[in-house]
Structure 1
Amino acid sequence: MHVRPRPWLALVVLSTACATGGEPQATDSASSPFFTNAGESSDTTGGEPDTTTTTGQPEPTSTTTTQGTTDPGEVTTTTLDPTTTGSTTDPGTTTGTTGEPLDPCPQIRVVTPNDVLNVRPTPSTAMAAIGTVTNGSVHDVLAIVQGENIDGEDTWYRIDGPWPEGYVFGSFVECIPEQRPPDEDGFFLPLQCGTSTTVTQGNFGDFSHQGNSAYAFDFSLATGTPLVAIADGTVSSLYGDTKPGDPCYNGGGQECNPYTNYVTLLHGDGTGSVYAHLSAVQVSLGQVVPRGSVVGLTGSTGWSTGPHAHVARQENCGGGFCQSIAVSFEDVPDDGVPVTGETVTSQNCP
C-alpha cells in the first residue's frame, strides 16, 4: 500500500446554504444521502435511494456553526484559535473541543448498513456523489474536516481515490491504525476483487470448524458466485460429479459428505488450499491457477445447510480434505484473520 506523507490537517467550516437561499435539511437513514444500494449508480439528477434505518452513530467531537450564505459547492477555510476551539499538541495531532484527538487517523474503514457509501466533492450532501466506496473497504485519510452537521455529527474525511477531492461522512466510517502493505506473494481472500461478504463461521467455530476444519472459514455467498484462488497454485485434487437434481446437490446431512464438490490447490510453499460445496468446478486436474483466478462457483453440495463457501489453507496430504492450518489474509485488516460475523472486502486484484 502506498503511504502518503501525513499532511497538516485543516479544519474546514462548510456553509450549508443552498443556492436558492434555503437551508439543506439533515435526513435520517430512511432517505439517506450517504448510501447507494448495490446495482444502482449515484443519482446526479434528484433524490438518493432509500436505505434502512440505522442507530448507534458515534458522538460528535465538535459542533459547526454555519456562517454566511455561500454556494453549497463552496467551503470556507477558517484558522481556529487554539485557546478556544482546539489546540495543536504536536505536529499532525489536533485536539478538538471535547479534548479527543482528531489525528492520528491514518486510515478509515467503511462501516455502513448498506453495500456502499457515497463520496462527495465537498464535505456536504448538497452536491451529487462523485463515487462510492464499499462497506468494509479501507482508505487513506488525507484530511479530517468539519462540514455539514447532521444529527450532531459534523466530521468528514477526505480520502484518497480516483477523484480530485472526495469526502465521506464520519458517522459511517471508523479510524483504524495504518495497515501494512500487502505482500503480493501472500494469501488473499477467495473472492473476486472488490467483493464484500460476511464470515458466517470462522476458526474454531462451534458448528463444524473443529478437528480437520479448525482453521477453516465459511463465507456467506449466493449459489453461482465465483470463488478464486487465494494464492498461485496447481490443482492437486477435485470432485465435481454432484449435479443439479442429485440428492446432495442442495445440501444434506453427514451422509452427503462424500458428494461435496471441491477443488484443492497445491501452493509453492508446500501447503494447500481447499474450496468446498461448489455448484460447479471450473478447473481441471494439474491446471496451474494464478491467484485471483476462478476455481469454481459457490453452492451447497455435500454436507451443507445452505449456499456458502468453505475455504481453508491446509497441509498437503495428497487428498481433498487435509488438516487445516492457520492463514492470515493480506487483504483483511489488523491480524489478517476474520472472525465470525465480520464483513470482509476482497483486494484479491492481481
Structure 2
Amino acid sequence: MLARPRNWLALVVLTSGCASGGEPEATDSLTSPVFTNPSGDESTTDVDPGATTTTGEPEPTTTATVTSDTDDPATTTSVDPTGPQTTGPDLTTSGTTGEPVDPCPRVLTVVPGDVLNVRPTPSTAMAPVGTLGDGVIVDVLAIVQGELIDGDDTWYQIAGNWPEGYVFGGFVECTQDEPPGDDGFFLPLECGTSTTITQGNNGDFSHMGNSAYAFDFSLAMGTPLVAIADGTVSSLYADVKPGDPCYDGGGQECNPYTNYVTLLHGDGTGSVYAHLSAVQVSLGQVVPRGTVVGLTGSTGWSTGPHAHVARQENCGSGFCQSIPVVFADVPGDGVPDTGEMVTSQNCP
C-alpha cells in the first residue's frame, strides 16, 4: 500500500539539527503518528540547530589490552476494546498451485527526515513504544483496523523489540523486499533506536587524523551502546567515576580520561566506543553483535553526553587509526553524514 499525501502532514515534526550537549531534543505530540524524541522523554523542547556535540580523540593513559594474532482517543474508531480487529488481507494465488500469497509480508517506512511512531495499540491514544526511521523494512504480523485518520483506518502490527507494536498505514508501503542481512557492520544502537549524527567522517572539529572515519551520535546520558559486529573485548578503560574531574566532560586536558571499550572483530579490524559513563563488559569477553558494551556519557574531552564510535585498525591499544565503515542498516551508501538521522536495525 503506497503512502498517500496527507493534508495533516503538519503532524510531522522535521528534525534539522542537534541538541546542545549531545542530547536530541524535539517537539512531539502524543497524538502524532510521527515521533521525534529518541530518548523516550515525553518532555521535549525544540531542537537547536546551531548546537552540536563534538569529541576529541582521547588517548587514555591506563589501558588493559588483549592482543590477537589476527588482524486524543475520542477520534478513535473501529477499535475493539478487547483487541484490534484483524481485517483479512486481499490474498492472491500463486501460479498453478493455488496457494495464497501474502501481498504485504513487510512494510517500508516513508517518513523522509523523520521517524515514525510505533504504538502499543492501533491508535495515537497511548505513548509510543518505539520508533522507526525512514526506509526501514519490518515484518508485518497483521493488518488491522484502528484509529481513523483522514479517512484511513489501516494500521499494521509489526514485529520488533516490543510486546505489541502498530504503525499507521499512511506512512508505510507494502514491500516484498527483505531487511538487511546479518553480515557486515550495524549501527551501535539498540534495535529501533533513532538519533542524529552530530559529527561524521572528516569533521572539522575533531574528526581528522586518527579519528577521520569516526562518528558522534547524539544520545542522552546512559543510553546503551552495542557492538557493531561480533567481537572480543581487546581493551577497555573504566577508571573515571561520577564526581571525578573529567566525568562530565572537559577540554583537551581531559583527553586521557575517557572511558571506552574496544572490540576485535573476525576480519582483523577493531571498533571503539568512547566517552562512556559505564563499561559493561570485561577484558577478553566474547561479544555478539547487538550486545551492550557500555552506557553513553561525557567522560574525557567532551561537551556533553554522546557516543564516539569508529571502526579502526588493530594496533594493540585503545585508539588506533580509524578506517571506513559501511553500516548495513543505513540507507544509501551506508555512511551517515553530519546532521543525518539514523535508525538502528542492529537486532540480534
| Residue 281 (str. 1) matches residue 282 (str. 2) | no
Report what 1:340 is aligned to: 338
Residues 1:268 and 1:118: Cα distance change in structure 2 (over 3 Å): same
Please list, as runs of the form range in 1=range in 2, the aligned pairs for 1:204-243 lying within 5 A after superposition.
204-243=202-241
Please list, as runs of the form range in 1=range in 2, the aligned pairs for 1:1-350 lying within 5 A after superposition.
29=11, 32=31, 34-35=33-34, 73=78, 107-111=108-112, 116=117, 134-136=131-133, 138-139=136-137, 150=150, 161=158, 168=168, 170=170, 173=171, 181-350=179-348
For the aligned residue pairs, the C-alpha RMSD in angstroms reads 4.4
1:117-162: CA deviations, max 9, x gaps? 55986xxx8x97898761415246999xxx9784xxx789875735
1:265 counterpart letter in structure 2: L
**Pair member with larger Rg:** 1
1:223 counterpart letter in structure 2: M
In 2, Cα distance between equivalents of 1:246 and 1:39: 25
CA drift at 1:220:
1.0
Percentage identity across paired residues of the two chains: 63
CA drift at 1:337:
1.4
Residues 1:38 and 1:198: Cα distance change in structure 2 (over 3 Å): closer
Residues 1:176 and 1:201: Cα distance change in structure 2 (over 3 Å): farther
CA drift at 1:34:
3.1
Residues 1:132 and 1:252: Cα distance change in structure 2 (over 3 Å): closer
TM-score (norm 2): 0.61
Report what 2:59 is aligned to: none
DSSP-derived class of the 2:309 partner: strand
Aligned residue pairs, count:
265
DSSP-derived class of the 2:254 partner: helix
CA contact (8 A) 2:109 2:132 kept: no
1:136 counterpart letter in structure 2: G
In 2, Cα distance between equivalents of 1:281 and 1:131: 29
In 1, Cα distance between equivalents of 2:294 and 2:201: 23
In 2, Cα distance between equivalents of 1:110 and 1:132: 18
Residues 1:293 and 1:117: Cα distance change in structure 2 (over 3 Å): closer
TM-score (norm 1): 0.61
Residues 1:246 and 1:341: Cα distance change in structure 2 (over 3 Å): same
In 2, Cα distance between equivalents of 1:244 and 1:120: 40
1:164-212: CA deviations, max 9, x gaps? xx77354xx4879987642313111111122121111111122211111
Q: Which runs of 5+ in 2 are unaligned?
A: 12-28, 47-76, 80-106, 160-165
Q: Which runs of 5+ in 1 are unaligned?
A: 1-8, 13-24, 41-48, 54-71, 75-105
CA drift at 1:107:
3.1
Residues 1:27 and 1:347: Cα distance change in structure 2 (over 3 Å): closer
In 2, Cα distance between equivalents of 1:341 and 1:10: 28
1:134 counterpart letter in structure 2: T
2:257 counterpart letter in structure 1: Y
1:332 counterpart letter in structure 2: V
CA contact (8 A) 1:109 1:176 kept: no
In 2, Cα distance between equivalents of 1:211 and 1:177: 42
CA drift at 1:108:
2.9
CA drift at 1:324:
0.7
In 1, Cα distance between equivalents of 2:39 and 2:305: 21
CA drift at 1:303:
0.7
CA contact (8 A) 1:262 1:274 kept: yes
1:339 counterpart letter in structure 2: D
DSSP-derived class of the 1:134 partner: strand
1:107 counterpart letter in structure 2: L
